[in-house]
Every structure is written in C-alpha cells, then in structure tokens.
C-alpha cells in the first residue's frame, strides 16, 4: 500500500468521496435529478466532516481520493455512516485500514452501531469487531393505500418535530438525533410525528428513520409515511431487525413484498432499538 495514503478527510475531498460512493455503494432515487442527489449527499458528507473530523478518513491514490469512511459519535454512541472503496483499490486492504481508523474514533464510546450492505467482505470486516449481528429484512413496493387506517394525529411537523424525534431517539438508540436531522430536512426530507409518541423522517417514499414509544404509534406513523408519499409512489423500508415485528402487519396490509437486507451489527450500552428503523447515514 505504498502508493495509497490513508489520511483525515478534508472538506474539499467531499466531491471525490461522493463520486466513489456513487460508483460502488449507492444510487440515485428514481426520478431524482443529479444536482439534487449530489447536493443532499455532499451535505451529508460535509456535515460529518464538520461534526466528527476524527471519524472521517479517505484513501488517496495518485493524488485522488479513491476511498472513504465516515463515523460519528453522538452522546457516547458510535455509528458507521459511509464506506466506499473504488474498485481498483479493492482487495488490497485499503478498506480495512480506513475502517480501522473510523473504529478507533469510537474507542471510548459505550455503544456501537453498523448498518451493513450485503457485500460479503464488508460483513466479514464488521463481524471481526465482535459486535452482535442482527439479521434484517426490507420491504419495498407500491403500497395499497386503500387499506390504510384513519390516522388522526399524524402530522408533518417540520422543524417543530425535532425535539420530539430527539427525545424518542435518545430513549431508543441511547443518543438523540437533533444534531443531524436538520441536514436531510434541508434537502427535501419531511418529519412526521404522531403526538409525542412517534416520529418518522422520509424523503419521498424512502424511509430514512423511524422511532416510537409504543408499537401502535410506530404503526400509525409508518402508515402516515405511505400516505404522504402519495398514490403510486414506491416506498422502501430498510433494516427491519428482529424486534421490529410491529412493522410486519403494516407492510403486509399494504401488500409490500419482503426481501433480505444487509445486517445490523450493534452492541454495548444502547437503548432497546425498538420500535425503531435506523438511518443508514445517521444510525
């Protein structure tokens, strides 16, 4: 690896970091214009470079960033937010070296969370941390909205809902979300709340995060997201672990098919993580 330098990420690396991840990790949402996609992903990356500089690392090869790893720590809980290595550097240990630095950033954390892709080398890397594995499923499709119940009390709260989401997240994850929620909300995500019992963050039909103080409230706000996505919209509910059985009747009633998803690795002093759908970016 003499031709590869692993170094702290800088703000000016964001464009290349996004390029790498677009090539090997994520894709555009259907119908989303490229400038819109780039703006929201660059905001995500730059937000963490600002809040967690010790957790943001890149691999530079021939003067260009070709690998990235981003980690965050919120109130003692460490999470792995983003990880990608260009194809030409894969299989050389570059990803392992990036991850080691991100993992070290959480050495003093009391809890750790990783949401994995189905990529076998990534899963093997995360398994070596010793964190317990939690297999996941996902649900996706066009929901049958005619089967939705009455949803009095579910509203699009905007920024006024952040304190509710923050408090519920602290109870469920062990750390609040207020520091991160404004970033996706500034780029098209909407925040729904059900009284003071549940919240859900989504962009179109793509659920970013959901948490609730009881299962019935979680079901109501999940239906609320399906309804506000609009007729004919495709919805995605990812990272449903064991313990999220409350979500299954909603998805079944909405006639959404299930599929295997990448696993969660989580351990330490965390909240119950239920009823909870974690965010891939912010855990």
Which CATH fold would you assign to the domain 4-109?
A: Aminopeptidase (3.40.630)
Interacting residues of 72 by C-beta distance below 8 A, sequence separation 6+? 48, 51, 52, 55, 78, 79, 81, 180, 282, 283
User: In the structure encoding, which two tokens stand for residue 103, read together?
Assistant: 């993992």
Residue-by-residue pLDDT tens, the chain, 283 positions: 789 999 999 999 999 999 999 999 877 777 778 899 999 999 999 999 999 999 999 999 999 999 999 999 999 999 999 999 998 989 899 999 999 999 999 999 999 999 999 999 999 999 999 999 999 999 999 999 999 998 889 999 999 999 999 999 999 999 999 999 999 999 999 999 999 999 999 998 999 999 999 999 999 999 999 999 999 999 999 999 999 999 999 999 999 999 999 999 999 999 999 999 999 999 9
Instruction: Give the distance, in angstroms, between the CA of residue 64 and the centroid of all CA atoms in the same chain.
Output: 27
Burial class (CB in 10 A: 0-12, 13-18, 19+), 155: middle
Instruction: For the chain, give every residue range classified as CATH 3.40.630.30.
Output: 4-109
Residue pair 172/113 in contact by the 8 Å Cβ criterion: no
This prediction has a pTM of: 0.95
CA neighbor of 56 nearest in space, from 236, 186, 132, 65: 65
Could you tell me the fold of the domain covering 138-277? Answer: Aminopeptidase (3.40.630)
In the chain, ranges of CATH 3.40.630.90 domains = 138-277
Please, what's the b/e burial string for 236-251 (b: 16 or more CB within 10 A of its CB; e: otherwise)? Answer: bbbbbbeebebbeebb
Return phi, psi of residue 137, to 5°.
-125, 170
> How far is 8 from 102, CA to CA, in rounded Å?
10
Rounded CA-CA distance 95/116 in Å is: 14
């Amino acid at each position: 690896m003499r031709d590869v330098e692993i170094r702290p990420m800088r703000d000016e690396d964001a464009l290349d970091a996004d390029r790498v991840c677009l090539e090997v990790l994520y894709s555009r949402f259907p119908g989303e214009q490229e400038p819109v996609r780039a703006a929201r992903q660059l905001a995500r990356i730059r937000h963490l470079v600002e809040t967690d500089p010790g957790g943001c690392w890149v691999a530079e090869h021939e003067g260009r960033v070709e690998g990235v790893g981003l980690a965050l720590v919120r109130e003692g809980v460490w999470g792995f937010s983003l990880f990608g290595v260009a194809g030409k550097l894969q299989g050389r240990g570059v990803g392992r070296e990036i991850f080691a630095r991100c993992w070290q950033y959480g050495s003093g954390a009391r809890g750790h969370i990783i949401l994995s892709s189905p990529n076998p080398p990534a899963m093997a890397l995360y398994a070596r941390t010793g964190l317990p594995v939690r297999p996941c499923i996902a649900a996706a499709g066009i929901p049958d909205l005619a089967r939705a119940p009455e949803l009095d009390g579910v509203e699009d709260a905007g920024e006024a809902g952040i304190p509710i989401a923050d408090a519920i997240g602290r109870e469920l994850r062990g750390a609040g979300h207020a520091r991160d929620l404004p970033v996706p909300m500034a780029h098209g995500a909407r925040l729904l709340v059900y009284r003071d019992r549940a919240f859900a963050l989504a962009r179109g039909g793509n659920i970013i995060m959901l948490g609730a103080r009881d299962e019935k409230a979680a079901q109501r706000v999940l239906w609320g997201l399906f309804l506000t996505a609009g007729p004919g919209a495709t919805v995605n509910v990812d990272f449903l672990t064991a313990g999220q059985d409350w979500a299954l009747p909603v998805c079944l009633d909405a006639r959404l098919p299930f599929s295997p998803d990448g696993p969660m690795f989580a351990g330490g002093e965390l909240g119950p993580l239920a009823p909870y759908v974690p965010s891939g970016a912010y855990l």
